[in-house]
């Protein structure tokens, strides 16, 4: 094999369709653009969502919902997550180091998913009513 004999596989390449090259080509005259109108002319097009001056769909529909930017600072921890920690005193820093909450988290709440079988002391961490009852039943406390 020589460098000058390398060529693409059969059927891998095909000629680009050349429009507007005479009547015999089958794509002469208007070159597939139809007659008249904005889209038939060079440089004539419109913005995405433009409906010819009619009120566009994204403006006809009502605005709905809101997602607070503060949600990224809230985190949840389950009882089974707490059970897996070795620390007796659990605070935000311990949870971040363990990788249970993101580094952005500022507020953490314990939810009752799973079981807790050992006593843990929570500092500056909120808990749901059921989670609080389960923690206190296991001998733990919330501060």
Can you give the CATH number for the domain in which 129 is found?
A: 3.100.10.10
HSE-CB at 139 with a 13 A cutoff on CA atoms is 5
Q: Is residue 89 part of a domain?
A: yes
Say what the pLDDT of residue 54 is.
95
Say what the pLDDT of residue 69 is.
93
Confirm if 85 and 94 have CB atoms less than 8 A apart.
yes
- CB contact burial 45-56 (16+ within 10 A = b; e otherwise): eeeeeeeeeeee
Q: Is residue 26 part of a domain?
A: no
Q: Is residue 13 part of a domain?
A: no
Mean pLDDT by 10 residues, the chain (143 residues): 94 92 92 92 89 94 94 94 91 94 95 93 95 94 89
Say what the pLDDT of residue 107 is.
95
Range of the domain at 111: 69-142
Q: Is residue 3 part of a domain?
A: no
Q: Is residue 134 part of a domain?
A: yes
Q: How many domains does the chain have?
A: 1
Say what the pLDDT of residue 143 is.
82
């Amino acid at each position: 094999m020589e460098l000058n004999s390398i060529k693409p596989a059969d059927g891998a390449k095909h000629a680009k369709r050349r429009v507007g090259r005479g009547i015999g080509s089958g794509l002469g005259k208007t070159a597939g653009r139809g007659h008249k109108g904005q889209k038939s002319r060079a440089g004539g097009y419109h913005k995405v969502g433009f409906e010819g001056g009619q009120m566009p769909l994204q403006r006809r529909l009502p605005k709905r919902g809101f997602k607070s930017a503060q949600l990224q600072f809230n985190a949840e921890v389950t009882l089974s997550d707490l059970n897996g920690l070795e620390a007796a005193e659990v605070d935000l820093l311990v949870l971040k180091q363990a990788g249970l909450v993101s580094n952005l988290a500022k507020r953490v709440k314990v939810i009752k998913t799973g079981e807790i079988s050992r006593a843990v002391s929570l500092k500056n961490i909120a808990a749901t009513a059921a989670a609080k009852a389960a923690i206190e039943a296991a001998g733990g406390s919330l501060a």
